[in-house]
């Protein structure tokens, strides 16, 4: 005689569990939906996007030939008014470590590494990329306010990673130090 009552109980419990699971499903879907919306909205709002530049380079000969030889490192002003900054990320420094860029102009950072994976981001801007051996990373941004902005390495690259900091010195175009075509930087290369 107790069997049917038992079954009824079990069916009841099953129904309750089912309902609870459905509620959790909805909650999880809502959380995931919120995260996707949040990431999408902030990406558009702050113009964040994954770097899309795929360009290869031979890491072993960076310092010997090509775009990233020593005398090419630093910032050049292009004829269209934009600036191109070339630097190298290596264990455990950026070379040059202090970059100088003009305010109010499009600034394109081009960087690569001869050793391991590094990263760079410039405080207060959307410039943020990984720096992978064998590839040239390129990001463009614009600084409207002159000042000094920190540029840490944000990929763990070894024991000296914590000391790997550079800086970006934004100066008004009127105070631009370069007169010729030689690249400019604010630290001795």
- Contact residues for Cu ion, defined by CB under 5 A: 118, 153, 157, 164
CA–CA distances in Å: residue 50 to residues 118, 130, 168: 16, 10, 21
Give me the residue label for tokens 């031979």.
58
Give me the residue label for tokens 């100066």.
171
Give me the least distance between CB of 88 and Cu ion, in Å please: 11
* Nearer of residues 76 and 121 to Cu ion, judged by Cβ: 121
**How far apart are the C-alpha atoms of 104 and 106, rounded to whole Å?**
7
* Nearer of residues 27 and 150 to Cu ion, judged by Cβ: 150
Give me the least distance between CB of 169 and Cu ion, in Å please: 20
Length of the chain: 189
Give me the least distance between CB of 59 and Cu ion, in Å please: 14
CB-count burial class (<10 Å; 0-12, 13-18, 19+) for 116: middle
* Nearer of residues 102 and 114 to Cu ion, judged by Cβ: 114
Give me the least distance between CB of 157 and Cu ion, in Å please: 3
* Nearer of residues 103 and 151 to Cu ion, judged by Cβ: 151
Q: Which H helix or E strand runs over 76?
A: strand 74-77
Give me the least distance between CB of 97 and Cu ion, in Å please: 12
CB 155 within 8 A of CB 119: yes
* Nearer of residues 101 and 157 to Cu ion, judged by Cβ: 157
Question: CA-based angle 133:159:97, to the nearest 5?
Answer: 60
């Amino acid at each position: 005689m107790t069997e049917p009552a038992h079954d009824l109980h079990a069916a009841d419990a099953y129904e309750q569990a089912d309902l609870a699971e459905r509620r959790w499903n909805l909650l999880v879907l809502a959380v995931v939906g919120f995260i996707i919306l949040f990431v999408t909205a902030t990406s558009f709002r702050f113009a964040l996007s994954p770097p899309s530049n795929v360009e290869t380079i031979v890491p072993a000969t960076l310092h010997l030939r090509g775009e990233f030889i020593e005398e090419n490192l630093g910032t050049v002003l292009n004829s269209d008014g934009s600036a191109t900054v070339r630097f190298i990320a290596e264990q455990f420094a950026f070379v040059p470590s202090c970059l100088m860029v003009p305010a109010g102009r499009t600034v394109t950072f081009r960087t690569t590494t001869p050793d391991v994976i590094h990263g760079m981001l410039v405080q207060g801007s959307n410039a943020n990329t990984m720096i992978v051996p064998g590839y040239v990373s390129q990001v463009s941004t614009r600084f409207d306010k002159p000042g000094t902005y920190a540029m840490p390495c944000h990929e763990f690259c070894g024991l000296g990673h914590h000391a790997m900091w550079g800086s970006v010195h934004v100066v008004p175009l009127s105070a631009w130090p370069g007169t010729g075509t030689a690249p400019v930087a604010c630290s001795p290369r």
